[in-house]
Amino acid sequence: MITDASACRCFAVSERTSASFSWAWASIRSVILPSSQVASRVTALGFTVLAHDPITPAVVSDGVSLVSFDSLLAESDIVSVHARATAENRHFFGAKEFARMKPGARFINTARESLVDEAELADALRRGHLAGAALDVVERPSDGARHPLLQLPTVFITPHIGGATEETLLRGARQAADAIADALAGRRPAAVVNPEVFDRETGGRTEGRP
């Protein structure tokens, strides 16, 4: 199911690619967002945050207002989905949900491709009911053809690397280099998944990097 929903004044999809795909609006009011961490980031930027969770959370972040799913769709200028995929929520966003979104709204999916009926999303975009979509995940065409959503000028697609900023890529490279150096020196890498196996194979030399 959908975990959260939120509203904002402005929203940047990708700082490094915004030059080739414009997501600029005069007065954005609302958006769906995923979690308390995301909510805290956008509220810090001055966004107004609405949220929907089918299971009422025990703790709601400061600045976040819980609303019904219907209200969230009707009031949001940007809807960004972040949820686990289950058999029950396949194509949770379909024709009815897109129709309930306000005209000119934008849709973002960085969760799982199965949550969205992409044919209905494409229809809503072609008709102009939705102004644009940003997708970090999409279903793979069975015939291996080019994804039809790529033909639409109002769609922005990334290969599940929406969080791959320059900083995260650099940090990942450094962590990988540190792990290799630790392993070669007989030290346990900081992020090893099964430390007991490493300790057994290396005779218990577990000291890591300072």
Q: For residue range 78-118, what is the model confidence (pLDDT) as tens digits?
A: 887 877 888 888 999 999 999 999 999 999 898 889 999 99
Structure tokens given for 97: 């949900």
Q: How far apart are CA 136 and CA 111, in angstroms?
A: 8
Amino acid at 109: N
Same domain for 89 and 37: yes
Tell whether 130 and 197 lie within a shared domain.
no
d(CA 113, CA 105): 19
Residue 92 included in any domain: yes
Closest to 75 in 3D by CA, of 118, 104, 96, 55: 104
Is 18 domain-assigned? no
Give me the domain span that covers residue 58.
Answer: 31-157
Count of residues in the chain = 210
Alpha-carbon distance of 115 to 94, in angstroms, equals 9
Do residues 142 and 177 share a domain?
no
Q: Please indicate, yes or no, whether residues 53 and 90 belong to a single structural domain of this protein.
A: yes
Q: For residue 95, how many other CB atoms are within 10 A of its CB?
A: 14
Q: Which residues are marked as active site?
A: 112, 139, 160
pLDDT for 41 equals 75
> Given the structure tokens 């009011």, which residue do they identify?
29
CB contact at 8 A, 61 and 43? yes
Beta-bridged to residue 109, according to DSSP, are 81, 135
pLDDT at 111: 86
Q: Cα separation of 178 and 187, whole Å?
A: 10
Cα 52 from Cα 64, distance rounded (Å): 10
Read off the CATH number of the domain in which 125 is found. Answer: 3.40.50.720
Clarify whether residues 127 and 47 are in a common domain.
Answer: yes
Angle at 185 between CA 183 and CA 190, to 5 degrees: 45
Tokens read off for 177: 């280099």
pLDDT at 8: 33
Write the CB contacts of 66 (distance below 8 Å, at least 6 apart in sequence).
50, 51, 52, 53, 56, 60
Residue 19 located in a structural domain: no
Question: pTM score, two decimals?
Answer: 0.66
In which residue ranges of the chain is pLDDT below 50? 1-34
Buried b (16+ CB within 10 A) or exposed e, 132-147: bbbbbbbeeeeeeeee
Considering its fold, how many domains does the chain have in total? 2
